[in-house]
Copies of this chain bind each other. A is one copy, B any other.
Amino acid sequence: MPILDLLIGKPLAASDERAERIGPVAGIGVFGLDALSSAAYGPEAALTLLIPLGIAGIHYSVPISAAIIVLLTIVYFSYRQTIGAYPGGGGSYTVARENLGPNAGLLAGVALMIDYVLVVAVGISAGVGALVSAAPSLQPHTLALCLGILVIITIINLRGVREAGLIIMLPTYLFVGCLVVAILIGLAKTLLEGGHPVPVIAPPKMGAATEAVGAWILLKAFASGCTAMTGVEAVSNGVKAFREPSDENARRTLTTVIALLIVLLAGIAWLVNIYHIGATDPGQPGYQSIISMLVTAILGRGIFYYITIGSILLVLALSANTAFADFPRLCRVIALDRYLPLAFSLRGRRLVYSEGIYVLAALSGVLLVIFGGVTDRLIPLFAVGAFLAFTLSQAGMVFHWRRIGGPGAVRSMAVNGLGAFVTAITVLVVLVAKFTEGAWITVMLIPAILVGMVMVRRHYDRVVIATASPSPLELKDFRPAIVVVPMQRWSIVAKKAVRFALTISPEVIGLQIGSEDTPDLRPDWEQYVEKPVMEVGLPTPKLVVINSPYRYVLMPIVDYVLELHKKDPTRQIAVVIPELVERHWYYYFLHNQRAAALKALLYVKGNQQIAVVNVPWYLDF
C-alpha cells in the first residue's frame, strides 16, 4: 500500500460526508473558536508595541481596545447581513466572485490563503507562548515546540478529522469561561480594594520609557491589536451547518461570539491598566504572555492558572486546526476553476485534500522557522490578509443588495458599505503602520500569487488548445507494439507479466540485466516460456541478456529500449513492468520503488512511442 497506513490510516471509501446540523450552543464552540482565540494574542500584540512607552504605555490599552471594539461592532452588523443573504455559506471568495467578478474573487481567495497560513503559524506560536509563560525553562525550545505541534496537527489532518463538535466545544468554553471568571474576579477585587487591587503575585516591573507617546506608535499598536478580530467571518461561512432555522441560529451564534469577544477584549484592556501589566520582550528569556501575567496577578499560580494556560494552548492549536480544514477546501474550489494545479482538487486516500494540507504545513513551517516561532514577529504579516478579505466580502455584499433591490436594500447597502469602508481603512492603516515590519511581505506575495494563478490558468487553457484534436483515429500502419518485459529471475511475478505481454502483442522480448550474482535465466526461459508457447503455436518470445558491471539495473533497461526505438522509430514499444504490490504499509519501502523509478526514467528519457505497462502482483503476507 502506497502510503503510511500507520501514520495516516487505511484508505477510506468515498461515501459522502454526512453533515450533522448544529445549534447555537455547539456553534459558539465550533465557529466561535477562531474569533475568540484571537483574544489570546490580539491585546498582547498591541501592548508589545507600547513597551517603549514604559508604564505610560499601558494606559493607552483602553482607548486602543475601544477603537478595536467599535470596529468589531461595525463588522458584526455587516456580517449579520451576509448570513441572511447567503444561507448556503458566504465565504469571502464566493461573495466577492459572485458580486465583484472573478478577479476580485481571486484576490479574496489569495488574501484568505495567506490568512490561513498565518492562522496556523500565529495560533501555534501564541499557544507555545502561553506554555512558555507557565514553564519558562521551555523558552529556549520555542521553535522546536512549535514545529512539533505543527507536525502533530498535520498528521491528524492527513488522517482526516470529522469536526467533532464536543472536542472543539469544550476547550472553547473552558477558555472563555476561565478568562471571564478571571476578569470578573479582577473587577470585583478592583471594586473591593478601591480601584487599586494588590496583585496576588506582582507582575514583572516595566522598564523605563525610552520613547515619548506619539500618534505613530499608537497607530502601530492599533494595527497590531486588530489581529484580535481575525476569525469573525467563520460563522457566516458555515450557515449551512446550523439547524433550521439556520440563518436565525447562525445570527444568534454570531451575536454571542462577538459579545463574548468584546467582553474579553474590554476586560483584558481594563485590567492590565489597573494591575499595571505591560508586555515583556517576546522571544527573550523571561518572556511571559499578557494573559499569563494577568491571571497570575488576579489569582496567583494555582490550579486555575494552569487550567487557563492549558485551555489557551488547546484553543490556539485547535484554531490552527480549523485552518487545516478550510485551506485545502478553498484550494480545491480555486483548483476546480483551474487557477491552481489540479492536484489540489484530488482527494487522497483518506478523503482529505492532501496536497492542500502539505502546502499549508510547509508554508506555515517556513514562517515559523523564519520568525523563530515568536508570535510578535508574525503579527505584522497577519492582519493584511484577513482585513482585505473582510473588505472584499463586504464590498461584494453592497453590490449584492443593489442587484437584489427591494425594500431595505438601501439600509442593507449602507450597513455593508460602512463595514467595507472601515475595514478598507484598517487595511490601509495596517499596511502603512506595519509595512517595514513585515506587511511588505504580504504586499509582495498577494500580486505574486495572483500572477502565478493566472499563469496556471493560462497554461491549462494552452494545453487544451494544444491537445485539441477534432480529427478521427488514424489506423494506417496499425502494427502491434514491441513488448519488453524486464525481469531478473523467473518467478510468479515475471510469469504473469510475460503472460500479459503475450496477450497484447506477438512480439515479446524478455530482458535480463545480468551481473556476477544474477542467476542464469536462459534455461528457465527455454523450459518455462519457449516450450509452452511453441506448443500452442504462438510466436516465440526472445530473451535478451545485458551485462552491467556495477550492478546498475535501471539505466541499461532504458538504454536498451531507446536502442530498440532507434531501429524502428515509428513502432510503438510497450515496457511491461512486473510489480510487487504489498498489502501492508510497512512493506512499501521494500518494494515498488524500482518500478516507479523505471517508469520515471523512461518518461524522462523516452518519447511518444514508449508506453509503460504495470502488471501488479499482490503479496499475500
Contacts and interface: CB of A to CB of B under 8 A. Distances in A.
Contacts of A406: none
Contact of A612 (B285, B492, B614): B614
Contact of A608 (B341, B494, B551, B616): B616
A346 B529 CA distance: 29
B613 A551 contact: no
A331 interface: no
A561 B475 CA distance: 27
A31 to B, nearest CB: 23
A604 B473 contact: no
A349 interface: yes
Contacts of A283: 140
Given A459-B587, A464-B491, 20 more contacts: A14-B552, A140-B283, A143-B143, A336-B551, A342-B590, A342-B593, A346-B597, A466-B619, A466-B621, A467-B491, A467-B580, A469-B491, A469-B495, A475-B502, A478-B536, A603-B616, A610-B616, A611-B615, A612-B614, A614-B614
A581 interface: yes
Q: How many subunits of this chain does the assembly comprise?
A: 2
Contacts of A597: 343, 346, 348
A468 interface: yes
A255 interface: no
Interface of A: 1-2, 11, 14, 16, 140-141, 143-144, 147-148, 283-285, 336, 341-343, 345-349, 355, 369-370, 372, 456, 459-460, 462-464, 466-475, 478-481, 490-496, 498-500, 502-505, 524, 527-529, 531-533, 535-536, 538, 550-552, 554-555, 572, 574, 580-581, 587, 589-591, 593-594, 597, 599-601, 603-608, 610-621
A469 B14 CA distance: 37
Contacts of A580: 463, 467
Contacts of A528: 470-473
B536 A342 contact: no
Nearest to A141: B372
A30 B195 CA distance: 73
Nearest to A527: B472
B1 A604 contact: yes
